[in-house]
Structure 1
Amino acid sequence: MLVAHVALPIPIYRLFDYQLVTPAEVGMRVKVAFGKRKLIGIIVRIDQHSELDIQDLKPIIEIIDKNPIFTTQIWNLLKWAVNYYHYPIGEILFHALPILLRQGRTANYDEVKQWQLTELGRKIDIQTLSRSPKQKLLLSSFRSNSTIETNFKLATYHELQKKQLIEQVITQKKLNEWRNNFSINPDSIKLNNEQACAISAINKQNHHFRVFLLEGVTGSGKTEVYLNVLSNILTSGKQALVLVPEISLTPQTIKRFQQRFNAPVDILHSALTEKQRLNVWLRSKLGENAILVGTRSSLFTPFKNLGIIIIDEEHDSSYKQQEGWRYNARDMAIIRAKIENIPIILGSATPSLETLNNAQKHKYQLLQLTERAGNASLAKQSILDIRGLVLTAGLSQPLIEKIKQHLFLNNQVILFLNRRGFAPLLICHDCGWIAECPRCDRPYTYHQNQHKLICHYCDTARLVPEQCPKCGSTHLMPIGFGTEQLEKQLEILFPNTKISRIDRDTVSKKGALDSYLQNIQQGGAHILVGTQILAKGHHFPDVTLVGIVDVDGALFSSDFRATERFAQIYTQVSGRAGREAKAGEVILQTYHPEHPLLNVLLSKGYQEFAKLTLQERQQTQLPPFSYQVLIRAADRNNYHAPSFLQKIHNWLKTNYDNTLWLLGPMPANQPKKASYYRWQLLLQHFNRQRLQQILEQLIIEMGTWNETSKVKWSIDIDPIDN
C-alpha cells in the first residue's frame, strides 16, 4: 500500500500521512480528513513508509487534479523556499496558489454554455411561430447569425428549446494564440548610447541565466530599455514577467507596454476578484498572455514559456512580505530566473546596498544609465535651513515664495511629506491628555475630513470625541501636520490653483489615481501634495519644483537601514523635477543643514552615498557583510514572549560559539500592536550556510518545548524592518 505525505495549509512544520488507494502524483491537490474537518492538501512525497501503522492511516477522500498543480520550475522554487525561509511547507505551497485553487476549484476555465440552432431549427418555416412573436424574433436572430439580443427573457429560450428548435451546448474556451498576430508599434524615441549598450548586453543573454542591475538616474529611460528587451523576447514567442512594487503606482508604465505591443498584457494585483486572479493564472500557464505585470505574489504564477523577469524599483521594501511567510520577492525572483535559465533585470535609480554589493562582486552585471533621456537635465538641489523660521503647516516663507514663482510660470509643484492625515497627535489643551490607541499604546492620527482618529499601526478607527475623557474640556488641539493639513493650508495660500493630494487615503478607490494623473497630465499650474506614492515611477513633464517638507525624523532613526531608505526616497522624489525640457529645482527643508548624509546626497548623489554607507556597513559588519535572522514573539500578558525568546537565547549560547552574535530579547520597535506585546531576538552570523544550519537545529529543538505553543512567534530571514 502506498503512502501519500501531504502538506496542509496549517502552521505546523510537518507533513501528514494518508493511504493512497488510487494513482496520483507529487504536486496534486487532494481532499483529506483532518480531525473533524475536511481540508485541501498537496502531495509532497509518495512512498511505502510511515511512522504510523499504514493500516491505521485514513485514506485520501478525493484526488482533485489530473496533473500536478505546479509546473516543475515553480515546484523547485517552492522547495528551495521551504529550506531557506524555515516556514511551514503547507502554508508556503498554498500561498503560491490563487485562493480559488486553495479552496479546491479545478484548474480550468469555466465551461461556457451556449445556445445554438438544432437541425429542426434550421429547417422549420419561421411563420409557424407567428402567434409567438418573441420566439419568432429570437429564432430569426439565430438564423441571421447576428448578435443575440440580450433583452430576451430566459423563458423565451426555454420555449424554443421545448420545441427542439435550439439547444444548449457546453464549449471549451478557445486559446488565445497571440503569437500569430504579434506586432510591435513603432516608436519615435531615439536611444542614447548607454541605452543601446544595455539593450545589447541583455539580448546577448536571451537564453541563459544572468542577473543585470540596470542602474539609471531618474528620467534616464529605464522603461525604454525594458520595452526594447521585451520586443526581442516577445518576437521569439516567449512571455515576460514584470514585477512592480505597487500596481497602482505604475499606470503609465503599463500603458506604454500596451501601446508598444500588439499582444495581451495582463495585470495581477489584490484589487482583482478571485475569479479574475485565477483566470490570469490560467492564461499565463497556457501561454495566452505575452506580458504579466504584477505585484509581489505574481512571482509564483506559472508560464508556458517564460523568457525574462524584470523587477522594477528593485530596492522597494514592498517586495518583502511582512506578515506570515516573510519572503523577499526580489531575491526569490533571482532564484526562479536561475531555475528557468533566463535573464533577470533589476532596475532602479537607487539600488539597494545588497544589490550594489553583488554588482561590485561581479555576481550581477552592472549596466548604468547616467544621462537623462531627451533634453532633460538634472534638477538643481538646495538645502533650506528652517531653524528660527515661522512655519505654516510645515511650510517656510522662502519655500512658499518659490512655489509662487514656479506657479506664475504656469508650471507644477510637488510637495512631499511622508505622513498622511491632518495631524499625528490630538491633545487636550487643558490637561495634556493624548488620544491613544489602547491596542497599540501609540497616538491616533487625526483625520479631519473623516472626523476620525485612526491608528496607523492596527488600522482601527474611532470618532473624534466631543470633549476630553480625562477632564471634560472641549479644547482638543491637533499637534503636528500631515498631508491633509498641508493640502488645506495650500488651498488658503493658493485659492486659484489646482491642488491634488495623493496618499493612501485619497487613492484607495479604484481608478482614483488614474483620475489624478490625467488631471496632472493636462498641464498648467498645479500643486501635488503627497507621500512616497508620488516618488515612484511617475512622469510629470510640467513639474519644475519639488519641495521636501520634513525629513529630519529619518536622519536620526535607530534602524541602520533608515538612512538608506531616506536616500532612496529623496533621490526618487527629487527625480520628479525637470524631466523634459524645463529646468527643475529641488528644495529640502531641514533643521539640520550640516548633516553629512544630506550634504553627500546633494553634492555627490546617491552613488557616492551608497559607496560610503557600504564602507560603514563593512566596518560594523552589518548586512550585506553579515546575515541576519529576526525571531519575533508576541503575547497578551507581556510575560511568555520575552521568556520564550530568552530560552532560545540561552539554548543558542549553550550550543554555539561566539561566531553567532545575539542581540536581545528586547522589545520590538513598536512594542505593542493590536493588543499584543511584541519582543524580538536578532541572530547574526558571517556565514549564511552556517546560520541556516543553526536555524534547522533550533526549530527541531523548539518543537519539544511547551513554551512554543504559548506565544505567537515567527522567523524572519534577511529582515529589512527591525
Structure 2
Amino acid sequence: MTPADLRLDEAAVRLGVVVEAPQHSGLLGVLDYLSATPLPPGTLVRVPLGRRVVTGVVWAVLPPSGEVPVRATEDLKAVIEVLDGLPALPSAWRQLVAFAAAYYQRGLGEMALMVLPPELRQLDAVQLQRRLKRLDKALATAPVAAPVATVAATAAGDSTGAPLPELSAQQALALSALAAGGARPFLLWGSTGSGKTEVYLRRAQEALDAGQQVLMMVPEINLTPQLEARVAERFAGRRIVSLHSGLTPAQRLRNWVMALQGHADLVLGTRLSVFTPLPRLGLIVVDEEHDPSYKQQDGARYSARDLAVYRAHLEKVPVMLGSATPSLESWHNALPVAEGGSGRYLRLDMPERIGGGDMPRVRLLDQNHVLKATMGQEPPPLSRPLLDAIAQRVERGEQSLVLLNRRGYAPVLHCSDCGWKSGCPHCSAWRVFHKADRTLRCHHCGFSERVPRACPDCGNQDIQPVGRGTERLEEQLAAALPGARVGRIDADVTKLKGALEAQLASVHAGEVDVLVGTQMVAKGHDFRRITLVAAVNPDAALFASDFRAAERQFALLLQAAGRAGRDADVAGHSEMWVQTWHATHPLYQALQRYDFASFATRQLQERQMAGLPPYASLAMLRAEGKTQEAAQGFLEAAASAVQDLVAQTPEAAGLMLYPAVPTPVQRVANVERAQLMIECGQRAVLQRFLSEAQAVWLAQAQQHRRSGLIRWAVDVDPLAI
C-alpha cells in the first residue's frame, strides 16, 4: 500500500510521532502521521518532513480506537517505513526524554532524536538490518564466558575466582548502607584514594549477579583510562560497552544497540550515556559528580548528573553520586533537614585513604614574603623554595606534578613599543601563543595564524610573550632543573589517538621526573610515584564574578592534591605546595585542613544570603546576533513581552528578570552574545513561567531575525553567569 493509498483507507491508524526539528520551527511536540497498522510507542520509523525523509519515534497511537474518519486524514502524510529490526524504546526511556525536554525547555523531538546514535538517524530499514545481522554474527561467534570473579564466588572461597581486594572498614560500612538503603540517591563522599571505585565495583557486581544492567558514568572518558581498564579487568567475561564521543559512528551504534537489546551488561559512558535505553537497569553510578562536564553547554543544555538522579527515581533503582568534593547542590541535598539541607540523599562518608596513608601536607607559599623579581623582569615560574623541594624529589627518584590550568606557551603576545596585543579578529579574546608550531591560536573559534615576524602595527621586531602557559612552564622548568626529565600533559599534546595513554604510561614507568599539566591530570589518575604537587597560579578564581568559581577551584586543588602520596610507602612525606599572593584566603585555609565540610558550609551561607542555588533556581535566556545591539535588543523585547506573566507570579516566588548584558566573552567567531538572567525562589514556579514564555519568545525571535538575531536559547540551571 502506497502512502497515497493509505490516506484514503478508513482503517488507517493515526500515530503521534516525534521528529527532530529546529527550535525556531515551532514544531516542538508530537506530529500526526498515518500507518496501515498500529505501532507500539517507542518504535523507530522513517517519515516525510517537508521535502526530507527523517527518522522519528512513535510516541502515541491516536485515538485509542485505532480508526480515524477519512476527513481527519486528508492532510496527513503516511509513515514510509518501520525500523522493525530493533525493539521499541522502553517506556522509561520515553518518560526520561519527555521530562528532560520539558525541564530544559527544548522540543520533544529535538531531545528524543538528539540522544540517539547519529548513524541510526541516517539509516533506512534495509541498512539497519544489515548492521544488525553483522552484530548478531559477531555476538554468536564471541559468546560471553563465565565471569572470572564474583563477590559470591570469593565469599564462598571458590578457588576459581580471582581474589578481590580486602575491604576497609569504611568501604564495608558504605556497602552495608547501600544494601540497606534501597532505591534512593546516595552521595559517596570520600577523600581521594579512599577506595570509592572499589565500592562502585562491588555494588555493580551485586547488580550484575542479579541479572541487572549497570550504567557507570564518568565526566570525560578519555581522561580516565585507568577506570575503563579496571572495570574491564574486574568484569572480564561480562559484556562491557563504552558510549562517548571518541567512538566511531559505527562503534557507537553497535554499543547502543547492544545496550537496548540487553546484550551489554555494563555501560561506561560520558554524559550522553544517561539516555541509553537499558531494559534491565539495576544501578546508576555517577563518578566525580561535581564535574562541570556533566552539563551540556550547547543545544539542549541538560545536566546528566541531575537526569541520572531522576532516571533512578523513575526506574526505582539506586544511584550513587561519588566525589571527594561534591557539588554544593548535592551536598545540600545530602544534609539532614535539621542541619539546613533537604535530606533527599543519604551521605556515605569515607574520609580515610586505603592503607591508612595521610593526605599530602598542604604548604601555602606566600608570594608576598618571597623576594620579588627586579623591576621590568617577569617573576620566575616557581619560587626558589619550591624549586628546591622539586629538586630534592628528583634526587630521591620521586616524581612531582606542577599544575597550571592554562595551555599554550603564553596567553598573549605584546609589543612594548605601541601596545599591540595578539587579539583574535573574530572574538573578543586574545590568541594564545603556541611556540611548538609558532602559531597564534584562538581557543574560542580556532582561528590560527603564524606568529608575525614583527609587530603588525608598528613593525617592532621585539614582540614578547606575556604570561605563562604549560608549554612555557615546561621549558622554564627544564632550564631551572638541569638533568630532570620534564614532561607535559594537556590538550595540545594529547590530540592524536593514543597520545594520552602513551604519556600516562611514560609517567607510570618512571620516565618523567616532573610532570606539567592542566586539570586533565588532576583527576582520575593513580600516580603511585608522585610525592609533590604544586599549584602555580591558582589565585585567578578567587575573585571571579562567577559565583561557582571558588567551588570549582577548591575541587580542582583538592583533586590535584590527591595525586600525591597515593602509595602508602611515600605518603608520609608527600606535599602540596600552593604558590599564592593570598595565603590567608578562607579557601586556602580550608584546603590546608582538607576541611571540605567547613568550606561547603561557608559557601552555602553566602549563597543563601545572596539568593543563589541551591536556595533559588536560575535560568539564563541567551541570544546571539550579528551585532551586540541585535542580541540585547531581542532579550530586552523578550523581557518586556512577558511582563504580564511575571505580574501573575505570586510575590512569594520572587520571580525576577535581570537586565540583558554581554556574556564574559562577548564575541566568538564574529557572533555577538548576550544573556539575561531569570531568578526564582521556587523551581516549579520558574518552570511554569518558562513553559508559558516559550511561545511569546518564539514570536519575538521571528520579529527580531530581520534586525540581526541569529539564535536564542534557554539555559536552565546554568553553571556560569
| TM-score bin, normalised by smaller chain | 0.7 to 0.9
Q: 2:485 matched to 1:498?
A: yes
Aligned pair in 2 of structure 1 residues 261, 460: CA closer, same or farther (>3 Å)?
same
Structure 2 CA distance for aligned equivalents of residues 200 and 105 of structure 1: 49
Q: Which runs of 5+ in 1 are unaligned?
A: 115-169
Superposed displacement of residue 11, structure 1: 1.6
Aligned pair in 2 of structure 1 residues 413, 95: CA closer, same or farther (>3 Å)?
same
Structure 2 partner of 1:204: 180
Q: 1:11 aligns with which of 19, 22, 25?
A: 22
Aligned pair in 2 of structure 1 residues 452, 626: CA closer, same or farther (>3 Å)?
same
Contact 2:641 2:696 in 1 (8 A): no
- SS of 1:711's partner is strand
Structure 2 partner of 1:595: 585
Structure 2 partner of 1:369: 350
Q: 2:233 matched to 1:259?
A: yes
Structure 1 partner of 2:338: none
Matches within 5 A, 1:213-224: 213-224=187-198
Q: 1:229 aligns with which of 178, 197, 203?
A: 203
Letter of the 1:75 counterpart:
R
Superposed displacement of residue 595, structure 1: 1.9
Aligned pair in 2 of structure 1 residues 284, 109: CA closer, same or farther (>3 Å)?
farther
Contact 2:40 2:58 in 1 (8 A): yes
Structure 1 CA distance for aligned equivalents of residues 121 and 627 of structure 2: 35
Structure 1 CA distance for aligned equivalents of residues 444 and 166 of structure 2: 47
* 662-671 or 281-290: bigger deviation: 281-290
Q: 2:228 matched to 1:241?
A: no
- SS of 1:624's partner is coil
Identity of aligned residues (%): 37
Contact 2:408 2:469 in 1 (8 A): yes
Q: 1:389 aligns with which of 372, 385, 395?
A: 372
The TM-score with structure 2 as length reference comes to 0.88
Aligned pair in 2 of structure 1 residues 267, 39: CA closer, same or farther (>3 Å)?
closer
Structure 2 CA distance for aligned equivalents of residues 45 and 188 of structure 1: 48
Q: 1:174 aligns with which of 140, 158, 161?
A: 140
Structure 1 residues 521-547: Cα deviation after superposition (integer angstroms, max 9, x where no partner): 223761110000111111111111111
Q: 1:690 aligns with which of 685, 688, 701?
A: 685
Structure 1 partner of 2:168: 192
Aligned pair in 2 of structure 1 residues 272, 655: CA closer, same or farther (>3 Å)?
closer
Superposed displacement of residue 512, structure 1: 1.4
- SS of 1:437's partner is coil
Contact 1:447 1:453 in 2 (8 A): yes
Structure 1 residues 182-222: Cα deviation after superposition (integer angstroms, max 9, x where no partner): 633534632221110001111234xx421110000111111
Structure 1 residues 276-320: Cα deviation after superposition (integer angstroms, max 9, x where no partner): 111111222233232221111111112232221110000000000
Contact 2:54 2:121 in 1 (8 A): no
Structure 1 partner of 2:96: 77
Structure 1 partner of 2:57: 42
Aligned pair in 2 of structure 1 residues 385, 105: CA closer, same or farther (>3 Å)?
farther
Structure 1 residues 236-264: Cα deviation after superposition (integer angstroms, max 9, x where no partner): 22221110011112111222222222323
Structure 2 CA distance for aligned equivalents of residues 535 and 238 of structure 1: 33
- SS of 1:696's partner is helix
- SS of 1:55's partner is coil
How many pairs are equivalent? 665
Structure 2 partner of 1:144: none
Matches within 5 A, 1:197-346: 197-205=173-181, 208-262=182-236, 263-346=238-321
Q: 2:325 aligns with which of 330, 335, 350?
A: 350
Superposed displacement of residue 45, structure 1: 2.9
Structure 1 partner of 2:439: 452
* 224-233 or 3-12: bigger deviation: 3-12
Structure 1 partner of 2:642: 652
- SS of 1:426's partner is strand
Contact 2:628 2:662 in 1 (8 A): no
Letter of the 2:357 counterpart:
A
Structure 1 partner of 2:402: 415
Aligned pair in 2 of structure 1 residues 689, 672: CA closer, same or farther (>3 Å)?
same
Structure 2 CA distance for aligned equivalents of residues 587 and 493 of structure 1: 18
Greater C-alpha radius of gyration: 1
Structure 1 partner of 2:718: 719
Structure 1 residues 111-148: Cα deviation after superposition (integer angstroms, max 9, x where no partner): 6689xxxxxxxxxxxxxxxxxxxxxxxxxxxxxxxxxx
Contact 2:215 2:285 in 1 (8 A): yes
CA RMSD of aligned residues (A): 2.3
Superposed displacement of residue 720, structure 1: 0.5
Superposed displacement of residue 357, structure 1: 0.3
Q: 1:465 aligns with which of 452, 460, 478?
A: 452
Structure 1 CA distance for aligned equivalents of residues 100 and 469 of structure 2: 40
Structure 2 CA distance for aligned equivalents of residues 490 and 457 of structure 1: 28
Structure 2 partner of 1:403: 390
- SS of 1:3's partner is strand
* 352-361 or 266-275: bigger deviation: 266-275
Superposed displacement of residue 480, structure 1: 0.5
Aligned pair in 2 of structure 1 residues 604, 379: CA closer, same or farther (>3 Å)?
closer
The TM-score with structure 1 as length reference comes to 0.88
Q: 1:441 aligns with which of 428, 431, 448?
A: 428
Structure 1 partner of 2:155: none
